A and B are shown apart, each in its own frame.
Chain A
């Protein structure tokens, strides 16, 4: 008897989100209200299937044994699925409150990509696994749920902030360089992960990006970085067309700025409670509330970052473009805190089988990736200055 009914519902949810994502983009391009309604319906349907998937997994874990049953947020597959679920939840609440569908095109891809990644990545197991003794505590529920709700709020702020930058682009200036660079970088990572899924074998215990940037073959590595630069260049060249087709939003700059800020104002207290409950749990499990473990430290860095966002807004009046840029960079810190630490660094939070070694190729990749992005930004700035 196999306990993978929940995986079937997971795939229904993933495909529904894909459909909804396509419909939201179509709605944006053609402003057809009927398409917009279908997009929302698709999202609700996917969310329902997703909720069933999570609930079913919870129930199925108890069917495997009273001892084995647990809330499905304990490993990479379960936590990322739950993370995508919280993003959709908060998005649906915002769509209801602001009665505006244009955010959908920027939030759905984040959720969809998260689900596709865990769905096809060769080294992410979908099996229901029993908990190790350290995770058998109710603190697991509180700490993980509040942290993920915080992450979800920041994810939505990220999507809305990118929208803000696109809508407010008037020329190819530094801000243009920033958002085109981010989109280019994201697109590169998505393609690289897809190549991973298609070329790496399940049994190998392969690490993330070993199909491209961290490949053992130098030639493949060089091609990967060259492709990355190429994608950035294309992003610079063609993103104005993206802007043109999306500028017909009903979303005003003011509303985008407000939603971008409000989601951070929701995410920050949630992340604070997430970090504090993590400390309380650590104290109950190991006797130390703060051990400067990489996960703890990076969550603090993310917290400091959004703290800076809030201070900059209140005391220096940093709104609009500056706030949007801060929100976008902050979200990269969130991604590193959630995934980077588990997959690239070692420590108490390492997800065991899927990596967790201080691998030199990981550090090299991160440094090179960021250096190229910063160089691209610099080039955009120079170009925009030169034009004047």
Chain B
């Protein structure tokens, strides 16, 4: 009884394992997963993964403003708005990985056997299955013909081997054995790439820092946290990065940015250990952490505007004076009893649809704006005006001056994207293997040639030539014919 029970349990667990194995080994599973992966990815390009406002816009247009909110909530709950980090997407990729792994493990031993086993000499059974074969009669003994056959095979690019069995001379050769491994290299490479990505998301992170010219940082504000490391919103690093200089280059005669560079110095344990001038596409790397030139700007609190004041009275003498003013700085307006102060300033604005001014960039291109406040000697406010170059009529009413913004300057900060990815070299290894695997699988193939020389009577022999290839059969047929003609013709 006990034995029977044990056997039943074994059968059931064996059966369960078999069931799981058969599930993961199926090609239908692969096709299904790939279709789901493609379909879900397409949805991910239409549903915005970064900006909820864009999704809301789209949903309102399709479902109407009433239902859109509910649909968006549903999308957020099911992870459609942050798809690529959701559990089910990761699950999808994991299932695919298992599928690839199981298929590879299952099929690989057979292929490895085919690749490593020695080539067998030609038998009649084999001859029956081969498509390329030819019998050639020759007036010589096998021993004499052997060298001729070997040289013909060598001149076709193979390395012939020979064997003698009971008076029958076998010569055979093969090439491109390892082409059969190409497919396995590509499949394993996919697994390696996934592994690299997993390592990167478990221990790697992505962040952003702004460094004002002359200042330094020792903490990174995180955008993506590593999944397996417990850390707050900022990642501390054990060195400092200092921005020595920031340079902005514009194309001659235009406001278009040509290039922007930051000279960064790494300070480790109080010593300047490394200096590099970085630009977009050329980051700084220290202790595997990389700093990428990503953006730049002017710190608004430290910026200054150059304001030009024109006396309004048309008395013939033009009273023009330039003032360099920081935000909140009180400056006396020459030749008048007033003081002025800029409470809000922007380098580059445009008029929005509802007549509001919308900030565009940190670069002064001629359309700056400044909210100027005017006070009298006692400090009492007397006037206020939003000076906007694109609207010259927007001027103070009481104070008899016209104002124009000439420039907006400030110390720049450099915006750096910071990443730490311990898995990235694993991913590159996987990519290189994939390309190698594809080239091997597509452009090489396994060719085998057999020659059997049997002695007939009166010093005559029959040469049987046969060949096989696992791919590119048309091309091989031609090659085989040429080889057979070589053996025959010479």
CA distance A268 to B443 in the complex (A): 12
A-B contact pairs, 23 of them (CB 8 A): A65-B252, A67-B258, A132-B257, A133-B279, A136-B281, A281-B281, A285-B280, A286-B294, A286-B417, A287-B283, A288-B206, A290-B197, A292-B49, A292-B83, A292-B84, A304-B34, A308-B31, A345-B46, A346-B48, A346-B54, A358-B57, A360-B58, A363-B46
Q: A269-B435, A272-B438, A308-B31 are in contact. Are A363 and B58 (CB under 8 A)?
A: yes
Q: A136-B259, A298-B45, A360-B61 are in contact. Are A287 and B292 (CB under 8 A)?
A: yes
A305 touches B38 (CB 8 A): yes
CA distance A65 to B282 in the complex (A): 23
Contacts of A297 in B (CB 8 A): 41-42, 44-45
A304 touches B38 (CB 8 A): yes
Task: State whether the Cβ of B27 lies closer than 8 Å to any Cβ in chain A.
Answer: yes
CA distance A78 to B310 in the complex (A): 49
Interface size range on B against A: 35 or more
Task: State whether the Cβ of B251 lies closer than 8 Å to any Cβ in chain A.
Answer: yes
CA distance A315 to B183 in the complex (A): 12
Task: State whether the Cβ of A279 lies closer than 8 Å to any Cβ in chain B.
Answer: yes
Task: State whether the Cβ of B202 lies closer than 8 Å to any Cβ in chain A.
Answer: no
Residues on B lying within 8 angstroms of A by beta carbon are: 27, 30-31, 34, 37-38, 41-42, 44-46, 48-49, 54, 57-58, 61-62, 83-84, 197, 206, 249, 251-252, 256-260, 279-283, 290, 292, 294, 417-419, 421, 424, 427-428, 431, 434-435, 438-439, 442
Contacts of A247 in B (CB 8 A): none
Q: Nearest chain A CB to B342's CB is how many angstroms away?
A: 31
Q: Nearest chain A CB to B51's CB is how many angstroms away?
A: 9
**Which of B48, B417, B418, B428 is in CB contact (< 8 Å) with A358?**
B48
A280 touches B259 (CB 8 A): no
Task: State whether the Cβ of A68 lies closer than 8 Å to any Cβ in chain B.
Answer: yes
Task: State whether the Cβ of A71 lies closer than 8 Å to any Cβ in chain B.
Answer: no
CA distance A363 to B279 in the complex (A): 37
A276 touches B257 (CB 8 A): no
CA distance A124 to B425 in the complex (A): 40
Task: State whether the Cβ of A139 lies closer than 8 Å to any Cβ in chain B.
Answer: yes
A67 touches B252 (CB 8 A): yes
Task: State whether the Cβ of A372 lies closer than 8 Å to any Cβ in chain B.
Answer: no
A134 touches B84 (CB 8 A): no
Q: A294-B45, A363-B46 are in contact. Are A133 and B424 (CB under 8 A)?
A: no
Contacts of A300 in B (CB 8 A): 41
Across the A-B interface, give the 10 residue pairs with the lowest CB-CB distance, nearest first: A287-B419, A294-B45, A137-B281, A360-B61, A133-B280, A276-B431, A292-B84, A269-B438, A297-B41, A285-B281
Given contacts A133-B259, A276-B435, A311-B30, 11 further A-B contacts (CB under 8 A): A130-B251, A133-B257, A133-B279, A136-B259, A136-B279, A289-B427, A297-B45, A301-B42, A360-B61, A363-B46, A363-B58
Contacts of B257 in A (CB 8 A): 132-133
Q: Which of A60-106 contact B (CB under 8 A)?
A: 65, 67-68
Q: Mark A129-162, 1 if CB is under 8 A from B, else 0.
A: 0101110110100000000000000000000000
Contacts of A311 in B (CB 8 A): 30-31
CA distance A345 to B41 in the complex (A): 14
Contacts of A345 in B (CB 8 A): 45-46
CA distance A358 to B46 in the complex (A): 8
Task: State whether the Cβ of A341 lies closer than 8 Å to any Cβ in chain B.
Answer: yes
Closest B residue, CB atoms, query A283: B424
Contacts of B418 in A (CB 8 A): 287
Q: Nearest chain B CB to A71's CB is how many angstroms away?
A: 15
B435 touches A280 (CB 8 A): no
B292 touches A286 (CB 8 A): yes
A292 touches B431 (CB 8 A): no
Q: A284-B281, A345-B45 are in contact. Are A304 and B258 (CB under 8 A)?
A: no
Q: Nearest chain B CB to A63's CB is how many angstroms away?
A: 14
Task: State whether the Cβ of A265 lies closer than 8 Å to any Cβ in chain B.
Answer: yes
Chain B interface helix/strand/loop/mixed: helix
CA distance A134 to B259 in the complex (A): 9
B292 touches A285 (CB 8 A): yes
Closest A residue, CB atoms, query B421: A287
Task: State whether the Cβ of A273 lies closer than 8 Å to any Cβ in chain B.
Answer: yes
CA distance A188 to B209 in the complex (A): 50
A133 touches B290 (CB 8 A): no
CA distance A384 to B256 in the complex (A): 60
CA distance A285 to B281 in the complex (A): 4
**Which of B37, B42, B258, B283 is in CB contact (< 8 Å) with A284?**
B283
CA distance A283 to B428 in the complex (A): 11
- Residue with the greatest number of chain A CB neighbours at <10 A, chosen from B38, B197, B252, B292: B38
Contacts of B44 in A (CB 8 A): 292, 297
B251 touches A68 (CB 8 A): yes
Q: Nearest chain A CB to B193's CB is how many angstroms away?
A: 9
CA distance A341 to B279 in the complex (A): 28
Q: Nearest chain A CB to B363's CB is how many angstroms away?
A: 14
CA distance A82 to B435 in the complex (A): 25
Closest A residue, CB atoms, query B41: A297
A134 touches B48 (CB 8 A): no
A133 touches B34 (CB 8 A): no
Contacts of B249 in A (CB 8 A): 67
Q: A289-B424, A297-B44, A360-B58 are in contact. Are A134 and B281 (CB under 8 A)?
A: yes
Q: Nearest chain B CB to A305's CB is how many angstroms away?
A: 7
Q: Nearest chain A CB to B26's CB is how many angstroms away?
A: 12
Contacts of B206 in A (CB 8 A): 287-288
Contacts of A289 in B (CB 8 A): 424, 427
CA distance A265 to B256 in the complex (A): 43
**Which of B259, B417, B435 is in CB contact (< 8 Å) with A273?**
B435
Contacts of A280 in B (CB 8 A): 428
Q: Nearest chain B CB to A277's CB is how many angstroms away?
A: 9
**Which of B251, B283, B290 is in CB contact (< 8 Å) with A65?**
B251
CA distance A77 to B37 in the complex (A): 32
Q: A67-B251, A286-B294, A345-B46 are in contact. Are A133 and B260 (CB under 8 A)?
A: yes
Contacts of A290 in B (CB 8 A): 197
CA distance A67 to B253 in the complex (A): 12
- Residue with the greatest number of chain A CB neighbours at <10 A, chosen from B34, B197, B256, B258: B258
